[in-house]
Amino acid sequence: MRLSKPNIQLNAQGKLHHFLTLEGLKHTHLTEILDVAQTFIDPATGEINKVDSLHGKAIMNLFFEPSTRTLTTFEIAEKRLSADVVNLNIETSSTKKGETLLDTLWNLEAMLADMFVVRHNESGAAHFIAKHVAPQVHVINAGDGQHAHPTQAMLDMFTIRKHKKDIFDLKVAIIGDIQHSRVVRSQIQALSILEAREIRVIGPTTLMPSNPDALGVHVYHDIEQGLDGVDVIINVRLQNERMQSALLPSEKEFFNLYGLTKERLKFAKADAIVMHPGPINRGVEIDSEVADGEQSVILEQVTYGIAVRMAVIKTIFDNAQALKK
């Protein structure tokens, strides 16, 4: 299944029109977003100031799948850009009355939405929507099925760059469910585009990708070997669904084999940073000592998520404006 048709998200000038996936994007697309995100952060205070950039623009957050965390960061980013924000829980909407998804979309579009931020439990949902909206409407993928979660990956890249400068020189290890996680898919694509020196994935066979070479990653089943000498450790949430589906034995056994503990952390470089997209399962994939420890940048990731989402939104509208000239 090839969900991503990279070109659908680029405009005639090759700039981002939608933001659906990292697949097919170039180094410059990513660094532009990271650079714009940096401008939102006050160098003196670390705060993110409110700007007027999107005054009069209407952004609709279409969450077909609930996610307080992602919705809230988008909502804050949108309001900090001074957009008008409407949250729509689509489960309770007209689709109940027998209206098709496309009719719902076209109606929302006719309500003069300038952008849809879409969260859906089916892979390809954001692409489907992007394919069917009017040319002046933009779509951001806020997570679709097991496919992609590109803004999460971008905030991860921003966090790495903040601590490590050039991603080009880094060895990065991702621990956990590599096979089913949309976050990891997007992270690997981002790291590849930004030419990380080495990308390692660590976990049990049942959670490893079937095509590591195509992805450009090295598979490790032993966590200590996998962490050896890395600069960045990305820990991924273990979905309960996987446990239930018998792909995994138990939380306790997973922690014994792959939980990130203080002892295991020592195998990485002394200045390695620990990341996690959240929400964390303490005592399952990560030990509290590590999650709350000095090398953890987990909460910084959340803050940078605001700046990065502001950057993605603003870049898309700026690109559309540039096209008109």
In angstroms, give the least distance from the CB of 219 to its own copies. Answer: 27
Secondary structure class of 157 (helix, strand, coil): helix
In angstroms, give the least distance from the CB of 239 to its own copies. Answer: 9
| Identity of the amino acid at 246 | A
Nearer to its own copies, 31 or 72 (CB): 72
Nearer to its own copies, 35 or 99 (CB): 99
Nearer to its own copies, 49 or 205 (CB): 49
Nearer to its own copies, 107 or 256 (CB): 107
Strand partners, 220: 202
Based on its alpha-carbon atoms, the radius of gyration of the chain, rounded to whole angstroms, reads: 20
Binding site for its own copies (CB under 8 A): 47-50, 55-56, 58, 60, 66, 68-69, 72-73, 75-76, 79-80, 84, 86, 88, 92-94, 97-100, 103-104, 106-112, 240, 278-282, 299-303, 305-306
What is the phi/psi pair of residue 152, to 5°? -65, -45
Report which secondary-structure segment, H or E, holds 313.
Answer: helix 298-324
In angstroms, give the least distance from the CB of 80 to its own copies. Answer: 7
Secondary structure class of 199 (helix, strand, coil): strand
Token digits for 118? Answer: 């879409």
Nearer to its own copies, 218 or 282 (CB): 282
Say how far residue 161 (Cα) sits from the centre of its chain.
Answer: 15
In angstroms, give the least distance from the CB of 217 to its own copies. Answer: 27
Nearer to its own copies, 198 or 300 (CB): 300
In angstroms, give the least distance from the CB of 102 to its own copies. Answer: 10
Token digits for 202? Answer: 């660590």
Q: How far is Cα 290 from Cα 175, in angstroms, rounded to an integer?
A: 14
In angstroms, give the least distance from the CB of 75 to its own copies. Answer: 6
Within 10 A of 225 (CB to CB), how many other CB atoms are there?
Answer: 11
Q: How far is Cα 298 from Cα 276, in angstroms, rounded to an integer?
A: 6
Nearer to its own copies, 151 or 301 (CB): 301
Strand partners, 218: 200
Cβ-Cβ contacts under 8 Å for 166 (sequence gap 6 or more)? none
User: In this structure, what is the dihedral angle of CA atoms 154, 39, 321, 12, given to the nearest 10 degrees?
Assistant: -40
Token digits for 309? Answer: 């989402």
In angstroms, give the least distance from the CB of 25 to its own copies. Answer: 26
